[in-house]
Chain A
Amino acid sequence: VENVRLLDRLSSRKAALGTLYLTATHVIFVENASETRKETWVLHSQISSIEKQATTATGCPLLIRCKNFQVIQLIIPQERDCHDVYISLIRLARPVKYEELYCFSFNPKLDKEERERGWKLVDLKEEYNRMGIPNSYWQISDVNRDYGVCDSYPTEVYVPKSATAHIIVGSSKFRSRRRFPALSYYCKDNNASICRSSQPLSGFSARCLEDEQMLQAIRKANPGSDFLYVVDTRPKLNAMANRAAGKGYENEDNYSNIKFQFIGIENIHVMRSSLQKMLEVCELKSPSMSDFLWGLENSGWLKHIKAIMDAGIFIAKAVAEEGVSVLVHCSDGWDRTAQVCSVASLLLDPYYRTMKGFMVLIEKDWVSFGHKFNHRYGNLDGDPKEISPVIDQFIECVWQLMEQFPCAFEFNERFLIHVQHHIYSCQFGNFLCNSQKERRELRIRERTYSLWAHFWKNRADYLNPLYRSDHSQTQGTLRPQIAPCNFLYKFWSGMYNRFEKGMHPRQSVTDYLIAVKEETQQLEEELEVLGERLASLQKGQLNDNKVKSKQQDQSKELGLSTSNTSLANTPQEYNNNLKSFPSRSPSQGDEEDSALILTQDNLKSSDPDLSANSDQESGVEDLSCRSPSGGGCLPSEDSGKDSDEAVFLA
């Protein structure tokens, strides 16, 4: 569709004129302005909702809201076209078959071995080995090898040595969705463990011997403690209400030596609503400070984040300080349980704070344990009541921790944002379906590519320059301040206002430090080379050879900071009453773009927003002018593209 206008979110007066394309996998807007031909790409999978607004004199407005919080506002001149686009997008954004998803057509041009290697990058058996299992207390069980016991669990589960198959099967019958207690994390220093399950089907008075034996087995697998914590992450009222439905929670009288604890994290519906309210605040045009703070508080979002964090802290403390094992569950054991177990693991074990470890953590507590990615994040068209930002909350917990412990994580904020992005993008096969069983049936590993391999290839962009594996912050358990600490939870504008670059710091400390580190490394290498040369010269004939030392570039400029005046820096609309100012000022560069924080020099090729598309399969011929190397044609970064094929072509 031609002559479509893309409105700038922050500055409503600015609109770019261009052409809108719809392909099988993307929505693409290409600006007419010939110098830049700036492109905005949106994957259909990312589309959360489409709103057709009332036709005005300028045309028919269409608002596209994305799961990665991008909001795109288009004005389509003809109502008929607008309606067609609207109907098409509705259908495209709600696929009915997995095969419609981008991951099945995405081609990074890797061969079969590379694809396989990518999938093997994260190996859970290796991970449990790293923990120290199998050992005298824990073992791997194949009782679920054909998903016969629990179809949302993996084929390989880790259970106490004293838990026989009979006990496991018996326990699974007494648990919602048959999600019996299984090992999430084992601390070899003191044998304390974190196990997870779903709620028991206890109703008001039902008992199950095998389930009680299961818990006893878990307790006994930790000889250092004579009791076991059972943590129910639901609010007490909700848990009690479940009893009327024949479910509920563990009765301390029936289970020997357990200490029961409610934590009180709200359910998926509350969280969905909370996010919705927060996003409404983010969409406010020119809000006052009060509007924003009230709106944020009213959404309750940070309160929920803190609740999840507090649960993780409680469990980490139980394991690290008390040496007591913990069994965690919620209702079905695949939402709050996953959040809380992974936060606790992160606090306890520095390995999970490395990039590889983090990938392993997600594979373990989210992917293998059957978190319902499809239902929660809408891979396919489904029940809107199943949608909820569960993993988003976990990712935010990690970010909050990164803010409090800047040296503790090997990866940076950008990594987290990209992980979130790809949970929804369906560009890779890792987060499809609701269980391992479904993924295997679809043969995901043979037909799609692994996100982790892609990240690993680009890990240089995702590193935290302040991380040192021998730093005190990276050792041992992380202990966030608990009270007072409300003020430590900040609004994550990098995520929820991700595409409004003007709102974020215009100079990135992380990128600056990464560049410093890279330069240091280069200098060290050169130093070594020169050192060797010097040594050999001292040994050899000094008179004969003239030393032609390369003149080092004395420039201290790292090219990343504002000394590069192409870093456009445009004032906001500070006063709506003033007539618009002429757009040029002698002190500014020539670019009027209000959204740049990075210059072209340091665009991260791994950023899904930035890369030029050169995938011929997309069918957008106009763009074949892009050089296959994806190098010099990179547009400025607020193009919001989701395609990052260029990464593989460099």
Chain B
Amino acid sequence: MMRSSQPLTGTNGRRCKEDEKLINATLRAGKRGYIIDTRSLNVAQQARAKGGGFEQEAHYPQWRRIHKSIERFNILQESLIKLVEACNDQSHNMDRWLSKLEASNWLTHIKEILTAACLAAQCIDREGASVLVHGTEGTDSTLQVTSLAQIILDPKCRTIRGFESLVVREWLQAGHPFQQRCAQSAYSNSKQKWEAPVFLLFLDCVWQILRQFPCSFEFSEHFLIMLFEHAYASQFGTFLGNNENERSKLKLQQKTMSLWSWVNRPQELSKYKNPLFEANSLVIWPSVAPQSLQLWEGVFLRWNRSSRFLDEAYEEMVTLIEYN
């Protein structure tokens, strides 16, 4: 599986032999590849006017292009704000809850992202075909797809170390602009331009898969919530900056502490371990039916409802397993 940004075909239909050579080199003998474009065909076509575009069949004959539209980042912040508002609604009226939830489109985004990731994973696992994923810049929806596909396909990514490596590889090193995206969250009053809960959506998708396969992840929900928090505000330098270049210029490695160095200490790690974990070697396919996707209460209802009874249940479960 490869990832990139959009090809600069423009309105003239430019081609680049080196680009073609590069991705063709990943094709397995006698097999074709799939290009998963996270934009709708329309949006991809419109991109040509600004110098961007998509891979043309004529130039990439061994590749089949699939458009699996994932909402662009600038819409997502609004989605988050609406969702949080819906969760904070104090009224007793049941009706408005569901329509407010629907109006936020949050779960729709989850469904779209998971579907695209499952598709990418399917291409690899079921067809044995190479896959190239890109959107526009290759820094947002692209990364959601590639990282989730790996969680589906690779059991190592479901271990704590494996997941940490995944985050470092597919998000930090791949250049997801954390500084921009996570500058403000749902309650900010100021105008938002580059902010978007792209990483949170990714973590939410991981949580959805975790909920459907509760014994397949070495880490628990608490781990994902911790990462969400640190992406937005942290005493560690891990999520600072927009890419490796910036991090290097900021000399973060010398001036700050790494989140991983703290999290991976045994006494900290024990809080994030999933007591139900049993390692397996399976490819796990989540259901993307609406009935299977739920609101992530641990994040969105955290401050609106008492988690006491759920925490007690968790404790009970841990005790049961540890005693055994």
Contact = CB atoms under 8 A, between A and B. Distances in A.
Contacts of A405: 309
A439 interface: no
A503 B212 CA distance: 9
A221 interface: no
B281 interface: yes
Contacts of A577: 66
A306 interface: yes
Interface residues of B, number: 69
Contacts of B108: 288-290
B102 A562 contact: no
Contacts of A517: 320, 324
Interface stretch (B9-17, B21-29, B84-92, B259-267): B84-92
Contacts of B289: 10, 287, 497, 500, 502-503, 572
B285 interface: yes
Nearest to A408: B309
Contacts of A578: 66, 119, 122
A502 B292 CA distance: 9
A520 B324 contact: yes
Interface in A261-303: 282, 287-294, 296-297, 300, 302-303
Contacts of B93: 486
Contact of A570 (B211, B285, B306, B310): B285
B316 A519 contact: no
Interface string A384-407: 000000000000000000001111
B45 interface: no
Interface stretch (B134-142, B184-192, B293-301): B293-301
Given A407-B316, A493-B292, A572-B285, A509 B95 contact: no
A288 B290 CA distance: 7
A289 to B, nearest CB: 4
Interface stretch (A51-59, A324-332, A581-589): A581-589
B152 to A, nearest CB: 9
Given A290-B108, A406-B310, A512-B276, A574 B213 contact: no
A505 B213 contact: yes
B95 A562 contact: no
Interface string B187-223: 0000000000000000000000001111110000000
Interface in B42-75: 66, 68
Nearest to A467: B316
A406 B89 CA distance: 25
Interface stretch (A179-187, A477-485, A536-544): A477-485
Interface residues of A, number: 74
Interface in B78-122: 87-99, 101-102, 105, 107-108, 110-111, 115, 118-119, 121-122
Given A290-B108, A574-B122, A486 B305 contact: no
B99 A297 contact: yes
Given A484-B90, A505-B213, A562 B280 contact: yes
Contacts of A570: 285
B215 A582 contact: no
Contacts, number: 205
A567 B89 contact: no
A330 to B, nearest CB: 20
Interface in B241-285: 276, 278-285
A213 B102 CA distance: 52
Nearest to B89: A484
A581 B282 contact: no
A561 B278 contact: yes
A289 B290 contact: yes
A629 interface: no
A503 B291 contact: yes
A582 B309 contact: no
B7 to A, nearest CB: 22
A575 B68 contact: yes
A523 interface: yes
Contact of B309 (A404, A503, A506): A404
B304 interface: yes
A567 B111 contact: no
Given A563-B279, A577-B66, A582-B126, A294 B99 contact: yes
A507 B215 contact: yes
A571 interface: yes
A557 interface: yes
A296 to B, nearest CB: 6
A466 B317 contact: yes
B99 A487 contact: no
A487 B295 CA distance: 9
24 contacts: A289-B102, A289-B108, A289-B293, A290-B105, A405-B309, A407-B309, A471-B316, A484-B88, A486-B94, A503-B291, A505-B212, A509-B215, A516-B321, A519-B324, A520-B324, A561-B278, A562-B284, A563-B278, A565-B281, A567-B282, A569-B282, A574-B119, A581-B122, A581-B126
Given A406-B316, A574-B122, A577-B66, 13 more contacts: A289-B105, A293-B98, A293-B99, A406-B310, A491-B291, A493-B291, A504-B292, A517-B324, A523-B324, A569-B284, A571-B126, A574-B119, A587-B281
Interface of B: 66, 68, 87-99, 101-102, 105, 107-108, 110-111, 115, 118-119, 121-122, 125-127, 211-216, 276, 278-285, 287-295, 297, 301, 304-306, 309-310, 312-313, 316-317, 320-321, 323-324
Give the 10 A-B CB pairs with smallest separation, nearest first.
A292-B290, A406-B313, A486-B97, A297-B98, A581-B126, A293-B102, A561-B278, A303-B94, A562-B280, A571-B285
